[in-house]
Amino acid sequence: MKLNWILSLALVVAAFGLSGCVQTVDGRHRAGVPLMRDQVDGRYDRTPAELWAAAKDVLKHQGTLLSEDTLKNVLEASVDERRVWVKVEEFDTKTSRIIVQARGKAGGADMEMAAFIDKQIAVRLASGNLTPATPVKR
């Protein structure tokens, strides 16, 4: 009898521990698995406007840009059935900071996708090409 109660209590604790809400970088909450790292932080010697343009270009190229919140400086996109948020902010007078957060379809953290998007933004900034090349029609 005690074993049944202990097992029931363990199942209830596991159910509450594995489900919940997570906060996104734009301040909203979404259903997801809490207590998992889902953000990548990058700092660049660029202006926030340059980071914004690079992040917007990368998200458009990799997936579908869903929203642009210019008040909170957050871009939201869907990339390979994952939800990605990119927040751009000024860190100090010479440095800007970018936070990339990625969550899977079931609400689990996706650090690989967040790191990939951050790396793509860095490549876009290093190349100096802040607008994607358009193919030439002949």
- Which domains does the chain show, CATH number per domain? 37-127 (3.30.530.50)
CA 95, distance to chain mean position in Å, is 20
- Return the closest-CA partner of residue 103 out of 44, 10, 21, 6: 21
> How far are the Cα atoms of 7, 28, 64, 96, 137 from residue 38, in angstroms, in the given order?
31, 15, 20, 20, 41
How far does the chain reach from its first CA to its final CA, in angstroms? 79
Query: Do the beta carbons of residue 26 and residue 86 sit within 8 Å?
Result: no
Write out the chain's pLDDT in tens, 138 residues. 777 888 877 776 666 655 678 888 988 888 888 888 889 999 999 999 999 999 999 999 999 999 999 999 999 999 999 999 999 999 888 899 999 999 998 888 899 999 999 999 999 999 877 665 444 454
Q: What is the pTM of this model?
A: 0.79
